[in-house]
A and B are shown apart, each in its own frame.
Chain A
Amino acid sequence: MKRSSLALLAVTLLLVAGTNLYGQGQSQNQAPRPARSRSDEMLDRWNDIGNKLIAMAQDFPEDKYDFKLQKDQRTFAQNLLHAAALDFVLIRRVSGSNLGPDFGEGDNPTRDVFKTKADVVKFVQEAVADGAQVIQQQGDPGLDNTSKFFGNRLAHNSSIWTFAIEHSGEHYGQLVVYYRANNLVPPDSRR
């Protein structure tokens, strides 16, 4: 969208890909950072997109939760519920547990179950928190384990987490457009 202006992009790229300009001057006086692991990186990615969805869920006005741009789309709330529900489907597969509400293989829970904004926010928060906990608990070895993916196909857990992250990112992008349609600026674009 628009207001991810050049300056914002530059900030983002500097943060993510950028040059460690001031860090060069500090490095001699600072203890070395602890070594990163693959699961640390995965956890960062999981939390990055998860927290962006949580911020939207908390920020968007409750009276607009049923907004959608086109008739054949999910509403704002349904997008969030779908992203979180799929997270739980995959978390259960990777962890071999019964974390979260079980909608079977469904990933489109209705507002009948999550009637209020608070209900939706809580559901998204729980999905992000539970996923983060599993990533941390399983560590790097867990990423190389395999779990049943869809169609009963086995996949490496790293691929399953990655899919969940990318799926959330896609829905985040849709919700950015929903924000602008309501004359609102997405939280992540306000910096």
Chain B
Amino acid sequence: MKRMRIFLPLAVLIVSVAAPAHSARNAAAASAPPPQQSQQPSAPTIASALDHEISGVEKQIVDVAEAMPEDKYNFSPETLNIPGADYKGVRTFAVQVKHVAASNYFIWSPLTGEKLPEGLKDGNGPEDLKTKADIIKFLKDSFALGHKAAATLTPENMLQNPGNSKSTRLRLATFGVAHAFDHYGQMVEYLRMNGIVPPASRSKSD
């Protein structure tokens, strides 16, 4: 987003991926060199690195899911009737959230070997999940699986394919994160279409 300038996502990343979490609250903090700045970071394990990635996107997605008012959960750009647009049949905000969660289960469950949850028929999640609270719980539970999946990664197994999968464990673990970021970008637009500034863009601009 226009206002989501570099320091904000960077701050999120610094919190989630690269460094201690307490020093990236704003651009000034991110720019101010902390006393230990030149210290070599301790080498992350592959499991901890992936866990940080999952935590990063989890925070972003959960934050936007919580930022959308419940009465807007069935919003779709189709309802705006934007001249010249074709949003017919696109996912509603609620289904975007459920899709991320359902996909998380499909993508990460091969790493843990866990059974998929009941009612997970397709990539859009269980139809009977209707309330904001239930949908966010489904989302959070799917990321909990992601953390479990990350914990299974080792240098020895990360380039192996679990079960009959055509992809390596590392690929599966990282694809879940990449897929979630794609939909995060769409959900950000849905918030903006409703006059809501995405949480990650607020501290600097609004």
Q: Take A2-B90, A13-B123, A159-B49 as given contacts and tell me if A154 and B170 are in contact as well, using a CB distance cutoff of 8 Å.
A: no
Give the dominant DSSP class at A's interface.
Answer: helix
Determine whether B40 belongs to the interface, using a CB cutoff of 8 Å to chain A: yes
CA distance A2 to B89 in the complex (A): 5
Beta-carbon contact of B87 and A2 below 8 Å: yes
Beta-carbon contact of A151 and B33 below 8 Å: yes
| 0/1 interface trace, chain A 155-181, chain B, CB 8 Å (1 if under) | 110111011011101111111111011
A-B contact count (CB 8 A): 218
How many residues of chain A are within 8 Å of chain B by beta carbon? 69
CA distance A155 to B205 in the complex (A): 27
- Shortest distance in angstroms between B152's beta carbon and chain A's nearest beta carbon? 15
> What is the chain A residue whose CB lies nearest that of B29?
A151
The 7 listed contacts between A and B (C-beta, < 8 Å) are A6-B122, A41-B170, A163-B18, A166-B178, A170-B185, A173-B181, A174-B188
Chain B interface residues (CB < 8 Å from chain A): 1-3, 5-7, 9-10, 13-14, 17-19, 23-24, 29-34, 37-41, 43-44, 49, 52-53, 56-57, 77, 82, 84-91, 99, 103, 106-107, 110, 122-124, 158-159, 161, 163-168, 170-172, 174-175, 177-178, 181-190, 192-193, 205
Chain A interface residues (CB < 8 Å from chain B): 1-4, 6, 9-10, 13, 15-21, 23-24, 35-38, 41, 44-45, 48-49, 69-70, 72-74, 78, 86, 105, 107-108, 144, 146, 149-156, 158-160, 162-163, 165-167, 169-178, 180-184
